[in-house]
């Protein structure tokens, strides 16, 4: 009787051992697979975070570069009252064909000032020198001065062609913004006075940049 019962119990126990081992192995395998999956997800999340951070940084740099390249349009910064004070007259501001603006008196024969803005390719004097050459090339026997305004500046006064009236031309660069000023007509003013008025005009422009 005891032998018969024992003979029936032992097979059950023996059969139960492999089942437990199988269950244990399966549990260990599932745990290892889960750990691998968690590690992979963690790495992917970290990579996404780094990628997002890099993109944000690049966007900020691009935004900063774009902002530093934006010009200051002098015509939006000047008022008719300020320019009129230089000419000791009442002036009206109007847009010029092709860009820029002019401040003119009611009498068309009276002196007026015109302003135009451009952007230098960099913060050196390369673009400034090109603008200066273009502005001064049309003047005959000009008087030239470099007043030391802004980063780079130059002023000239001379006639155009065989005309007797003097024309004032001034160029000033602040950072990468270049402003060109033209004073016309100047009947009754000598070169010294034209230089003085043009200097005051580019000084005003530079103070706005």
Name, in order, each residue with C-beta under 8 angstroms of 169's C-beta and a sequence gap of 6 or more.
Answer: 135, 136, 139, 142, 155, 156, 157, 180, 181, 182, 183, 198
- Give the CATH number of the domain where residue 132 resides: 3.40.1000
Beta carbons of 174 and 150 less than 8 angstroms apart: yes
Report the C-alpha gap between 117 and 93 in whole angstroms: 15
How confident is the prediction along the chain (209 residues), in pLDDT tens digits per residue?
444 444 443 343 333 444 333 344 444 445 445 455 554 555 545 545 454 444 444 444 444 443 344 467 999 999 999 999 999 999 999 999 888 999 999 998 899 999 999 999 998 999 999 999 999 999 998 999 999 999 999 999 999 887 778 899 999 999 999 999 999 987 788 899 999 999 999 999 999 99
Q: pLDDT, tens digit, for every residue of 85-105?
A: 999 999 999 999 888 999 999
Residues facing 174 on adjacent strands: 177
Round to whole Å and give the CA distance between 34 and 39.
Answer: 9
Residues 26 and 78 grouped into a single domain: no
For 159, the enclosing helix (H) or strand (E) is strand 152-160
Q: What pTM value is reported for the model?
A: 0.66
30 shares a domain with 125: no
Distance CA(118)–CA(103), nearest Å, equals 18
Helices marked H in 88-175 = 126-136
Is there a contact between 86 and 200 (Cβ–Cβ < 8 Å)? yes
Asked whether residue 92 falls in the same domain as residue 188, the answer is: yes
Total domain count for the chain?
2
103 and 63 in a single domain? The answer is no
Which class for 84: exposed (0-12), middle (13-18), buried (19 or more C-beta within 10 A)? middle
Q: Are residues 105 and 155 in the same domain?
A: yes
Edge-to-edge strand list for the sheet holding 92-95: 92-95, 101-104, 112-119, 177-184, 167-174, 152-160, 139-145
Can you tell me which residue has the tokens 């968690």? 38
For helices 80-87 and 191-208, the axis angle rounded to 10 degrees is 160
Strand 92-95 to strand 152-160: parallel, antiparallel, or no bridges (unpaired)? unpaired
For the record, the structure tokens of 113 come out as 């000032």
* Domain coverage including residue 28: 1-70
Asked if 57 and 116 sit in the same domain, the reply is: no
Q: pLDDT tens-digit profile of 132-155?
A: 999 999 999 899 999 999 999 999
């Amino acid at each position: 009787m005891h032998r018969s019962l024992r003979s029936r119990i032992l097979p059950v126990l023996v059969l139960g051992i492999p089942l437990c081992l199988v269950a244990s192995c399966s549990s260990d395998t599932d745990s290892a697979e889960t750990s691998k999956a968690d590690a992979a997800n963690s790495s992917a999340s970290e990579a996404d975070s780094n990628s997002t951070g890099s993109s944000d940084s690049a966007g900020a740099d691009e935004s900063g570069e774009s902002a530093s390249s934006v010009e200051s349009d002098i015509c939006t910064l000047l008022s008719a009252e300020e320019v009129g004070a230089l000419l000791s007259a009442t002036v009206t501001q109007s847009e010029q064909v092709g860009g820029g603006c002019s401040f003119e008196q009611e009498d068309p024969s009276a002196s007026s000032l015109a302003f135009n803005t451009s952007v230098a390719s960099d913060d050196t004097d390369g673009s400034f020198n090109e603008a200066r050459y273009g502005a001064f090339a049309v003047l005959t026997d000009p008087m030239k001065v470099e007043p030391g305004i802004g980063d780079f500046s130059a002023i000239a006064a001379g006639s155009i062609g065989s005309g007797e009236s003097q024309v004032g031309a001034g160029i000033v660069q602040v950072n990468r913004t270049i402003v060109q000023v033209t004073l016309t007509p100047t009947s009754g003013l000598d070169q010294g006075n034209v230089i003085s008025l043009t200097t005051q005009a580019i000084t005003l422009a530079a103070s706005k940049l």
